[in-house]
Amino acid sequence: MRRRRLRRIALVAVAGVVTTGLSGCGMTRGDSFDDNTTLSGKINSVLLDGSGDVTVRGRKGSAPLTLERRVDYKGDRPKKPTYRVENGVLVLGGCGKDCTAEYEVEVPEGTPVRGKVSGGTVKLSQVGAVRVTTGSGRIEMNGVTGAVEVVTGKGRITGRNIKGGPVRAQATDGTVHLTARTPVSATVRTDGGRINLRVPKGRYKVSVASEGGDTDVDMAHDPAARHGITLRSKDGDILLQDS
């Protein structure tokens, strides 16, 4: 599904309903609506539990945090809430059959994010530890602080300015491109894509192998190093660099 940027609208206001189908041409009729709210209460973590694109941005300061949502559906308009704050956990859920809910959310910087999205792109910036799985869709990270564990069935994984670690990334059908800002331990596996990992200069235990591609390793293996790097690809090139 093509990503559509959510419109900024008045708080808790519904922007409207858009008819996207043409029944006369044999196409399925679909509708959508957008809304926006200010989050109240303390947010300690985020739980993903739906289907649709999700963007979570960590933010400094005490200004109100916002949540924007777009819902695409067929049939009756969904009436039940798709998100909630429960004991400090912001739950971003789905809306049932023939329905997807997309989110753009602001949370306090360093907030951990976990959960699963069955289909959709997940974008995370300036958040804490990440443990996320997508059935089909990209995972994009920037400025994550803490442990990272990400898995996608079909889609690429990218990450910039990763701090802390350790990092574990797995893509069944997609590339993995990660850059760490601080020395980290990393384990990356792909079945059908390239691996590109860049880490700061330092001492690392290194193990790299590809069954059907080339490997390019720009650092020495140090068996006594604190941090370890393991990269495996069944059918893709591997590039490991320090900076």
Give the predicted TM-score (pTM) of the model: 0.87
Residue with tokens 């951990």: 112
Strand partners, 199: 242
Structure tokens of 8? 């900024």
| Cα separation, 64 vs 101, whole angstroms | 22
In 3D space, the residue among 238, 229, 53, 240 whose CA is nearest the CA of residue 139 turns out to be: 53
60 and 156: one domain?
no
In 3D space, the residue among 53, 54, 35, 39 whose CA is nearest the CA of residue 86 turns out to be: 39
- Quick one: average pLDDT of 27-50? 89
Structure tokens of 147? 């442990």
Strand partners, 36: 68
76 and 138: one domain?
no
Summarize pLDDT for 132-161 with one digit per residue, the tens.
999 999 999 999 999 999 999 999 999 999
Segments forming the whole domain that contains residue 154: 129-243
The answer to whether position 124 is within a domain reads no
Q: Concatenated DSSP letters for 38-52?
A: EE-S---EEEEEESS
Summarize pLDDT for 159-193 with one digit per residue, the tens.
999 999 999 999 999 999 999 999 999 999 999 89
209 and 136: one domain?
yes
153 and 224: one domain?
yes
Summarize pLDDT for 41-95 with one digit per residue, the tens.
899 999 999 999 999 999 999 889 999 999 999 999 998 999 999 999 999 999 9
In the prediction, which pLDDT does 40 show?
A: 87
Residue 22: HSE in the Cβ half-sphere, 13 Å Cα cutoff? 2
The answer to whether position 115 is within a domain reads no
Number of domains in the chain: 2
The answer to whether position 202 is within a domain reads yes
